[in-house]
Amino acid sequence: MASIAKRPNGGKMIQFFDATGKRRAIQIGKLSMKAATSIRVHVERLVSSRITGHALDDGTALWLSKLDKTMIGKLSKVGLIEARESATLGEMIDEFIKLRTGDVKPRTVAKYKVVKKHLIDHFGKGKSLKSLNAGEAKEWRAYLIDRKLAENSIRKLSGIAKTMFNYGIEKELIVKNPFNCLPSALVPTRDRHHYITIEDSEKVIEQCPDAEWRLIVALARYGGLRTPSETFALKLSDINWSENRFYVTSPKTERYAGKEGRIVPIFPELRPYLEECFDQAEDGAEFVIEKHRIRSENLRTTFHKIIKRAGLNKWPKPFQNLRSSRETELMEQFPIQTVTSWIGNSPSVALQSYLQVRESDFEKALHICCSTVPNTPVLASNAN
């Protein structure tokens, strides 16, 4: 508990015991007892936060954000808050990335660095954290829009920015997250859906330069694997030929309990391409894909060239749409809980972001409807 003490000159001070049991005092000047009591309450909350490690309540956080430098200095001097006058955007981001580098995958660190670049390009490395507000965060979103980034890309960047600034709150460099006002939940992007038929898939596979590339495409299109993460994690020992199934390690979801991997059938369409790579594997090889795993960053570029050689136009999200096409097909034959177990997503994600409506679905609907209504002719698809 904190208390208010009066000084002979009429001034007041707040006295308290810190986390080490040492008596501390903050001079607050000649304030009314009402104003002094308000400060005492906030000091008690700050002491409690330091001792328990719990986050500050919104009222005290707002109070801190409105204090002048003099009072901030007094609170900092007695250890109730971290000194933060010199905290800059560049310093905080660098510290955040350095801290997280050992905890997350290199691809995630790469994403952090992309967000850092956009933040620094817009605000400058020396931007004071304390001066950043929600209005400027919205201006940053407008800056990303001007750079012609897709909506979901902007939302992903905004989500990472929120995480970075939450770290700033934890370090008591700031008291509020100015980026909380930005939307970060992804929205369905059905305009980027593209169903790849079996026929087109085989045309693409035929143009692949070797067995490994044929399997990379087949694992995405017929096995529903994420590319490159799950494809490159697939080991020869993961394949159970006797039971016609294989184990898929999922780097994307492994941080969730029970989501480290999944069992997937060796579908008939997939089997010949899997057997081809298995038969060609060198003695002592560990992974199914060995030759092309070193420079995975070139997969998309090479794949676009393969699609072009097949006489097809490249489609959006090349590998994800292969995976999406497979899940759409499987949903016609199996229950949703079975399909999402094999594909490795949730029913809600499948319905929102993966399952597609195909041209063949419209044709099927036409025939079904006509067959259930007597004497109804089947109309030609190009009828006026």
The DSSP line for 205-272 is HHT-SSHHHHHHHHHHHTS---TTHHHHH-BGGGEETTTTEEEEE-TTTTTSTT-SEEEEE--TTTHH
| Spatial distance between the Cα atoms of 301 and 346, rounded to a whole number of angstroms | 30
What pLDDT is recorded for position 84?
Answer: 52
Tell whether the model's pLDDT for residue 21 goes beyond 90: no
What pLDDT is recorded for position 174?
Answer: 84
| Spatial distance between the Cα atoms of 264 and 189, rounded to a whole number of angstroms | 27
| Spatial distance between the Cα atoms of 91 and 95, rounded to a whole number of angstroms | 6
What pLDDT is recorded for position 254?
Answer: 80
What pLDDT is recorded for position 276?
Answer: 96
Contacts of 10 (CB under 8 A, 6+ apart): 30
What pLDDT is recorded for position 297?
Answer: 53
Q: What is the pLDDT of residues 273-287, one digit of tens each?
A: 999 999 999 988 999
Q: What is the pLDDT of residues 51-85, one digit of tens each?
A: 888 888 888 888 887 787 788 888 888 888 876 55
Average pLDDT, the chain: 88
Confidence of residue 381 (pLDDT cuts 50, 70, 90): very low
Beta bridge partners of 23: 17
Q: What is the pLDDT of residues 196-213, one digit of tens each?
A: 999 999 999 999 999 999
CB 123, CB 132: distance < 8 Å: yes
CB 217, CB 319: distance < 8 Å: no
Find the DSSP H helices in 66-206.
69-77, 89-100, 106-123, 134-146, 151-170, 198-206
Tell whether the model's pLDDT for residue 379 goes beyond 90: no
Beta bridge partners of 17: 23
**Residue 278 to residues 8, 271, 272, 282, 339, Cα–Cα distance (Å):** 88, 10, 10, 9, 26
CB 329, CB 361: distance < 8 Å: no
Tell whether the model's pLDDT for residue 298 goes beyond 90: no
Helix axes 211-221, 299-309, angle to 10 degrees: 90
Q: Which CATH architecture has domain 89-187?
A: Orthogonal Bundle (1.10)
CB 14, CB 27: distance < 8 Å: no
Contacts of 53 (CB under 8 A, 6+ apart): none
Confidence of residue 162 (pLDDT cuts 50, 70, 90): very high
**H/E stretch holding 346:** none
Confidence of residue 375 (pLDDT cuts 50, 70, 90): low
What pLDDT is recorded for position 115?
Answer: 96
CB 346, CB 340: distance < 8 Å: yes
The overall pTM is greater than 0.85: no
What pLDDT is recorded for position 311?
Answer: 96
What pLDDT is recorded for position 330?
Answer: 95
Confidence of residue 384 (pLDDT cuts 50, 70, 90): very low
Confidence of residue 295 (pLDDT cuts 50, 70, 90): low
What pLDDT is recorded for position 377?
Answer: 56
Report, as an integer, the average pLDDT of 256-267.
Answer: 90
Report, as an integer, the average pLDDT of 307-331.
Answer: 94
What pLDDT is recorded for position 376?
Answer: 53
Beta bridge partners of 239: 246
Domain 192-362 classification at class level: mainly alpha
Domain with CATH 1.10.150.130 in the chain: 89-187
Q: Which residue has the higher pLDDT, 111 or 255?
A: 111
Q: What is the pLDDT of residues 89-143, one digit of tens each?
A: 999 999 999 999 888 888 889 999 999 999 999 999 999 888 899 999 999 999 9
The 3-state DSSP class for residue 94 equals helix
Domain with CATH 1.10.443.10 in the chain: 192-362
Cβ-in-10-Å burial (0-12, 13-18, 19+) of 8 comes to: exposed
Round to the nearest angstrom and report the end-to-end CA distance of the chain. 82
